[in-house]
């Protein structure tokens, strides 16, 4: 099974998306949230931290791969930086998804729980970009 | 005969950059408040405080320019928290590749380091010139430095050219509409404001000119 990493600027969003996505699956899927930063006073702030993303990838590591879902801006830059810092063999098994964070994570968790491959899970997650929420 | 630029000068550069950014935190905050999320000043200040701490401890930053740059890159990547962290991080990580195990470089090598650093930022952020980002200060500076080296100028004169190019690039961002980064969400409303990241990048070049250019000349005379 692959693992999922949720990268957001906000700690609560990352944790919340993990919970929401986790509720959808019969089999537990390895999923970790990385959100916000901790400043020099130990306070949580809005932001992203590539080294925290790197640590999450390492701690959730699955040989089948790791799919990373991101919110915006520096979440993408931090995820890419984390991949640059990984050894080549691991980097090849990681993918940053273009999927929207919330819907993408829900679909990715479901697909991952069924044992689908990294590429297939990502394809399904990215496909939700084209779903209309409201039918008019 | 051009003089080599030493590890001590590189350390001085980073220390001046950190000072400059901290002196201008309010301006950086104000610029980011106009077209972003008002955190660029705080982000850079957080990073630069850690950079200064690192510079206090010579064993933490290594005995060559490559290790120094790598250590600064990792510091920025893990503390800045906004886009500027991975981007300045990419600058130093990429520039470090040219100078592993080296404790002095020629002006030609310095220009090559700047080119590599710029490529690092371009690859990470995928921004082109005129997208209202730090690239608008960095790229003209690197090009001016390369041209000055080709003309045979000394370090002080070459880095002054780079500084002037960075300044023009930074000021020019006020005329541009952002198409990368948070400011791009504002569309045409981003026009009329100077880009915060280009301003930080200008300080990077300004501190380089002071520590790697003029200071070298002062030591020589
Ligand atoms: N893709 C990019 N390429 C080059 N520079 C960029 C890019 N995105 C943002 N920047 C630069 O980063 C500066 C903003 O840095 P700052 O530290 O405020 O990050 P931020 O935009 O708040 O990050 P976040 O994405 O976390 O909101 C911009 O002014 C711009 O110069
Ligand atoms: Mg900002």
- The residue extents of the domains of chain B are 5-220
Does A25 reside within a domain? Answer: yes
**Which residue(s) pair with A4 in the sheet?**
A31, A67
- Cα–Cα distance measured from residue A130 to residue A98, given in angstroms and rounded to the nearest whole number: 12
- Cα–Cα distance measured from residue B78 to residue B58, given in angstroms and rounded to the nearest whole number: 19
- Cα–Cα distance measured from residue B14 to residue A66, given in angstroms and rounded to the nearest whole number: 36
- Cα–Cα distance measured from residue B9 to residue B22, given in angstroms and rounded to the nearest whole number: 20
Mean pLDDT of B124-136: 98
Does A77 reside within a domain? Answer: yes
Say what the pLDDT of residue B221 is: 52
| DSSP state string for A14-76 | HHHHHHHHHTT-SS---EEEEESEE-TTS-EES---HHHHHHHHHHT--TT-EEEEE-STHHH
Number of domains in chain A: 1
> Could you tell me how many residues make up chain A?
136
Which residues neighbour A13 within 8 Å (Cβ) at sequence distance 6 or greater? A35, A71, A101
Q: Please, what's the largest Cα pairwise distance for chain B?
A: 51
**Which residue's CA is the closest to the ligand 1 atom numbered 29?**
B197
Does A16 reside within a domain? Answer: yes
User: pTM (2 decimals)?
Assistant: 0.96
Facing B86 at nearest CB: one of A40, A46, A77: A77
Give the pLDDT band (50/70/90) at residue B1: very low
Does A136 reside within a domain? Answer: no
Mean pLDDT of B12-30: 98
Checking if the pLDDT of B22 tops 70, the result is yes
Domain that holds residue A44: 3-130
> Is the CB of B49 less than 8 angstroms away from the CB of A37?
no
Which residues neighbour A91 within 8 Å (Cβ) at sequence distance 6 or greater? A83, A84
Catalytic residue among A5, A9, A29, A111: A9
- Nearest of A125, A88, A86 to residue A2 by alpha carbon: A125
Inter-residue contact A35 to A7 (CB < 8 Å)? yes
Q: Give B50-109 pLDDT, tens digit per residue.
A: 999 999 987 888 889 999 999 999 999 999 999 999 999 999 999 999 999 999 999 999
Q: Is B200 in the pocket of ligand 1 (CB under 6 A)?
A: no
* Closest A-chain CA to B181: A73
According to the CATH classification, is domain B5-220 in 2.30.110.10? Answer: no
Q: Is A35 in the pocket of ligand 1 (CB under 6 A)?
A: no
Q: Give A2-46 pLDDT, tens digit per residue.
A: 999 999 999 999 999 999 999 989 999 999 999 999 998 999 999
Any idea what the CATH number is for the domain that residue A55 is in? 3.40.50.510
Question: What letter would DSSP give residue B96?
Answer: H
Q: Give A93-133 pLDDT, tens digit per residue.
A: 999 999 999 999 999 999 999 999 999 999 999 999 999 98
With a pLDDT cut of 90, the percent of chain B lying above it is 91
Does A100 reside within a domain? Answer: yes
Does A135 reside within a domain? Answer: no
């Amino acid at each position: 099974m692959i693992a999922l990493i949720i990268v957001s600027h906000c700690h609560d969003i990352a944790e919340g998306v993990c919970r929401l996505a986790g509720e959808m699956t019969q089999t537990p899927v390895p999923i970790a949230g990385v959100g916000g930063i901790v400043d020099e006073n130990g306070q949580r702030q809005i932001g992203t931290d590539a080294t925290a993303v790197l640590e999450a990838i390492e701690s959730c590591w699955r040989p089948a791969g790791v799919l990373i879902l991101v919110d915006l801006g520096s979440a993408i830059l931090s995820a890419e930086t984390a991949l640059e810092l990984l050894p080549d063999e691991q980097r090849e098994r990681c993918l940053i998804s273009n999927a929207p964070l919330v819907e993408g994570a829900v679909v990715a968790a479901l697909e991952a729980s069924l044992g689908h491959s990294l590429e297939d899970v990502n394809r399904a997650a990215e496909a939700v970009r084209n779903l209309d929420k409201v039918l008019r | 005969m051009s003089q080599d630029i030493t590890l001590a000068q590189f350390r001085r550069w980073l220390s001046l950059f950190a000072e400059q950014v901290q002196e201008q935190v309010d301006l950086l905050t104000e610029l980011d408040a106009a077209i972003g999320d008002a955190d660029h000043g705080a982000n850079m200040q957080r990073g630069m405080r850690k950079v200064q701490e690192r510079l206090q401890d010579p064993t933490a930053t290594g005995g060559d320019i490559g290790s120094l740059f790598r250590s600064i890159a990792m510091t920025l990547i893990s503390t800045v928290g906004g886009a500027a962290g991975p981007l300045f991080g990419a600058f130093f990580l990429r520039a470090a590749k040219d100078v592993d195990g080296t404790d002095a470089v020629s002006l030609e090598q310095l220009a090559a380091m700047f080119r590599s650093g710029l490529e690092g930022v371009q690859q990470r952020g995928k921004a082109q010139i005129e997208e209202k980002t730090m690239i608008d200060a960095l790229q003209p500076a690197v090009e001016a430095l390369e041209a000055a080296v080709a003309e045979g100028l000394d370090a002080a004169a070459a880095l002054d050219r780079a500084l002037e190019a960075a300044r023009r690039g930074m000021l020019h961002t006020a005329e541009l509409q952002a198409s990368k980064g948070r400011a791009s969400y504002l569309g045409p409303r981003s026009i009329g404001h100077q880009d915060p990241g280009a301003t930080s990048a200008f300080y990077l070049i300004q501190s380089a000119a002071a520590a790697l250019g003029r200071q070298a000349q002062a030591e020589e005379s």
